[in-house]
Amino acid sequence: MTKKLIINGLIHAAIALAMQLVVGLATGDWWTGAALGIGFYWGREKRDDELHNPGRPWWRGWTPFEWSADGQSDFWWPFGACLGMVGLMEIT
């Protein structure tokens, strides 16, 4: 994993956690905040996949395993961060 992927992953994770934090503190529902943070990056990477593969049918590219390594990194960092935050908040 390159330094660029790590830095971008940390930035994306911080943004997703900020979204989760706003929803979690406002409503107390950390799962909804996680869905917002994860869903944002899932949709973003699905769109990027469609732009980079214009000939593919619309139903392709919904799973992260079909994306580029960069796209997967941009998704998995926020995914792990948001689920980790849910785990921390559910324990306390």
**At residue 1, does pLDDT exceed 70?**
no
Q: Which two tokens stand for residue 43?
A: 């949709």
| pLDDT of amino acid 58 | 87
Q: Give the pTM.
A: 0.90
Q: pLDDT-based confidence at 25, cuts 50/70/90?
A: very high
Q: What's at 51, amino acid-wise?
A: L
| pLDDT of amino acid 19 | 97
Q: pLDDT-based confidence at 91, cuts 50/70/90?
A: confident
Q: Higher model confidence: residue 26 or residue 91?
A: 26
Per DSSP, 58 falls in state: T
Q: Count other C-beta atoms under 10 Å from residue 58's C-beta.
A: 8
Q: Which domain holds residue 13?
A: 3-91
CB 64 within 8 A of CB 76: yes
Per-residue pLDDT tens for 28-82?
999 999 999 999 999 999 999 999 999 989 889 999 999 999 999 999 999 999 9
Number of structural domains (the chain) is 1
